[in-house]
Amino acid sequence: MGSYDRLATPLRKTQTTSGPAAAPPQLCRFARSALRVAFCALRFARCALRFRPFPSARHLNSIGRLSGSILAVGLALGLLPALAAPRSPFSPASPQAASIADLFWFTLIAAGLIFLGVEGTILYSAFAHRERPGREASQFHGNTRVEIIWTALPALLLLVVFYLTVRTMHDISAPPGDPVEINVVGHQWWWEFSYPKEDVTTANELHVPVGEPILLHVTSADVIHSFWVPQLAGKQDANPGHVNDITFTVSAPGTYLGQCAEFCGIEHTWMAIRVVAEPPAQYAAWVKAQQQPASRPTSNLAILGETIFQSQTCGSCHAIAGTSANGVAGPSLTHVGSRATIGAGVLDNTPANMERWLLNPQDVKPGVLMPNSKLTPNDAKALAAYMESLR
């Protein structure tokens, strides 16, 4: 304590002599803590090197407590704004996601209250029942009545949570009447969306009408993936050989982001989902546009690009309706120009990015199954122009 006092005394003096102009006491306290930290660190380094006992280990505990509480407040403040962000299950955009969010809030608040109670009791006993001269620990062994109470109360709370769980899971899984049905197939590392009634196939960007029930049949063409768009519904795995259903009704137009949630190989990271929810009329227009075969290129560059596409092996993996390209290993390119991203979210869909992607996909998305076709920069530019013309 002695050396600490020597440091602290001058500070106190400054505070008393400088009258009303003195720094606020909090500031002084803060400065003192800072000094104390620096001082302890110095002493610590010296003692640690010589492996000597450290005289003011007591101070360490107070510094630790201080930084611990600053951290706790910081983390709590960080919590709130984060929850309203896009891609959060706490900003739901469908009744299904909204019921999950309600249930989530309920469990979160219940858990938070228990947390405060238990944590408070721990800290209280740790401080209030510290060893002091003259304090004898009571030698009691247990109390059956107390044990029964703290077994029964959590059991009752869990019973309520369980009831809400079962009710919610049945509510949000109920199959809707006359839904828009879409087959979702996970591939390494992109999503195939096909609308069997409308005879439309697209990739990575799912268009749905607002206000109508949607039913997704989710499966996989290779390994296990998981379809997750937090604002619309909980996730379901895409298992090879199984079909899992997801149902939701989007309540507001907008773009909702999601991502594959089950590790599915080297590019699991770039297997994003964009759900574009539009009013029914706009959706119908989109369907109509998608049903058309690919538009013919008009600019010279794009026409050159089409020739390159036909001369390369592109068509054995990709399909472009209305041409001889009919591959199914990669995403359909019939309307690739109308999609917002390239490579399942890795790049925004701009001509420059498309060119970069075509020049060497392995550079943009290492491990992607699309090989490097070793195009010349001019060929890549032309091919990119053709891709962008496919709207």
Partner 1 sequence: MAEQTRGYVPTYPTITAPTGLWRWVATVDHKDIGVLYIVTTLVFFLIGGLEAMFIRLQLIAPNAKVLDPETYDEFFTMHGTTMVFLTVMPLLIGFANYLVPLMIGARDMAFPRLNAMSYWLLLFGGLLLYFSFLAGQAPNGMWFMYVPQTLPPYTTGPGPNYWAAGLLVTSVGTIAASINLTVTILLLRAPGMAITRLPLFVWTVLVNSFLILWALPPLAAAMVMMLLDRLVGTHFFDVSAGGNVLLYEHLFWFLGHPEVYILILPVFGMVSETIPVFARKPIFGYTFIAASTVAIAFLAMSVWAHHMFTSGMGLTEDTFFSAASMLIAIPTGVKVFNWVATMWRGAIRWTSSMLFSIGFIGEFIIGGLTGPMLATVPVDWQVHDSYFIVAHLHYVFFGGSVMGIFAAAYYWYPKITGRLMSENLGKWHFWLTIVGLNLTFFPMHLNGLLGMPRHVYTYPNLPGLAELNFWETIGAFILATAVVVFVWNVVASVRFGRIAGNDPWDAWTLEWATASPPPPYNFASIPPVRSRRPLWDLKHPENPDPR
Residues 240-279 that bind partner 1 (CB under 8 A): 240-244, 257-269, 272
Angstrom distances, CA of residue 84 to CA of 77, 172, 210, 231, 244: 13, 22, 21, 11, 29
Q: β-pairing, 180-187 with 213-220?
A: parallel
- Using CB under 8 A as the criterion, what x/- string covers residues 184-223 for binding partner 1? ----x---------------------------------xx
CA dihedral sign of residues 94, 100, 102, 108: negative
With binding defined as CB under 8 A, does residue 226 bind partner 1?
Answer: yes
| Residues between 275 and 334 with contacts to partner 1, criterion CB under 8 A | none
CB nearer to partner 1: give 121 or 376.
121
In sequence order, the 6+-apart residues with CB closer than 8 A to the CB of 237 are: 218, 224, 225, 226, 227, 244, 262
Q: Give min distance, CB of 387 to partner 1, in A.
A: 22
- Using CB under 8 A as the criterion, what x/- string covers residues 154-173 for binding partner 1? xx--x--xx-xxx-xxx-xx
Q: Give min distance, CB of 94 to partner 1, in A.
A: 12
| Residues between 35 and 54 with contacts to partner 1, criterion CB under 8 A | 44, 47-48, 51, 53-54
- Transcribe 162-199 into DSSP letters: HHHHHHHHHHHHPPPSSPEEEEEEEETTEEEEEETTTT
Buried b (16+ CB within 10 A) or exposed e, 118-136: eeeeeeeeeeeeeeeeeee
Q: Give min distance, CB of 373 to partner 1, in A.
A: 21
Residues 376 and 358: their CA atoms lie apart, in Å, by 10
Which member of 3, 18, 67, 300 binds partner 1 (CB under 8 A)? 67
CA dihedral sign of residues 99, 102, 106, 111: positive
Q: Give min distance, CB of 198 to partner 1, in A.
A: 25
Query: Residues touching partner 1: how many (CB under 8 A)?
Result: 109
CB nearer to partner 1: give 209 or 343.
343
Residues 348 and 232: their CA atoms lie apart, in Å, by 23
- In the numeric block, the tokens 């999609």 are attached to 339
Q: Give min distance, CB of 4 to partner 1, in A.
A: 15
Write the DSSP symbol of residue 49.
H
CB nearer to partner 1: give 224 or 287.
224
Residues 52 and 75: their CA atoms lie apart, in Å, by 36
| Residues between 116 and 155 with contacts to partner 1, criterion CB under 8 A | 118-119, 121-123, 125-126, 129-132, 135-143, 146-147, 150-151, 154-155
Q: Give min distance, CB of 303 to partner 1, in A.
A: 35
Which member of 28, 90, 194, 317 binds partner 1 (CB under 8 A)? 90
- Taking alpha carbons only, the member of 109, 111, 249 closest to residue 176 is 249
CB nearer to partner 1: give 8 or 108.
108
